[in-house]
Structure 1
Amino acid sequence: MAALRKWLFTGLLVIVPGVITAWVLSWIVSTLDQTLQILPGAWHPDRLLGFHIPGFGVLLTLAILLVVGAFASNFAGRKMVSWGDALVSRIPVVRSIYSSVKQVSDTLFSESGNAFRTAVLVQWPRDGVWTVAFVTGSPSGEVAAYLRDEFVSVYVPTTPNPTSGYFVLMRRSDCIELDMSIDAALKYIVSMGVVAPPDLVAHEPGK
């Protein structure tokens, strides 16, 4: 029975990751294929070629992102984006949602941003209990005026779902900067500590 149990769990460890990966990829491809609906019926690849091309929506989505990105990178594109932002900011309710989403996306995707650029070790939720978190920036404005010491904005993700978590302000001196990459830190969190970063090196206190 012990051998059968071992074989069963070994089989699960081999099959489950592959099945879940295939399912996620299939969901992404099928979802992006829905972007083909924006094309006129006569232009649909299925109708033009006479057969379905799985994943064509992925290529179309990438093409749209590249075209929009190229257009928004020049002077005229930046002006139009600015006018669009100004127009949306005048619409009640919509402006609140749009401005919040835009601030988050600008922080996450901006090349000059500091979000999720550094993994740190912090004591959370109490002293003596440690977890891995991410520095997302520094407090400013009225918040910074009340904080006399040097503080940083820290995102403490939950496990195994790092998309939810806690935003806290912590003294920089209380955050131990780690050498591990953001990808390695996320993998460490998602796996609940099972998959430790291979390049993880312990540092002696005070060094």
Structure 2
Amino acid sequence: MSEKQKRPGAGTRVRNYFLTGLIIVAPLAITAYLTWTFIGWVDSWVKPYIPAMYNPDHYLPFAVPGFGLLTALVLITLIGFLTANLVGRTIVGFGESLLDRMPLVRSLYKGLKQIFQQSNSFKQAGLIEYPRKGLWSIVFIATDTKGEVDHKLPGHDSISVFLPTTPNPTSGFLLFVPRADVIILDMSVEEAAKMVISAGLVSPEFPRPAPAPGKGKAKPAIA
């Protein structure tokens, strides 16, 4: 078979090029047509309800395609936002009304809610020796002591801490403690609040470092 017979003719090559182009262009053209038709259909439904002062078709020499669709998307999103917030507030309000009828749970929930809402006001959680030497209490560190209080205290290096009570951490004591007497904890304020509210039953995980060989000492288990 000669080289001339193996090579397709010009008509065949043109046909192949056309079919290849059709395969590429046809899906794009159909997609564009359907999209344009959908935009026009939505515009025909929405634009008549848009006030003239907000409709650009009334003061432009040409129609703005897609403005009705954009308006519909904004309205649908706004309705969804309002509905979600209304439903969310209704559910939360119903749940809080149920908790208000449970004396013990009510105090725990309100205390936890308030401390979470105010947790950003505290920087860190820490430990101080209170109410006597050898006993330790969790405190929330607020800020460095300032003003007259700091000036009158000896050393001028103290911090303001809040000592919460259990199980309601919204009540407690404001203490001005020397910085050296406070042990800073790695746990967050929220985790410390959970520990206070649960009376120590809920404690965050802490990766305890392995003791050095020959220096480890087992702690007695609490039954």
- Return the TM-score normalized by structure 1: 0.43
Highest CA radius of gyration, 1 or 2?
2
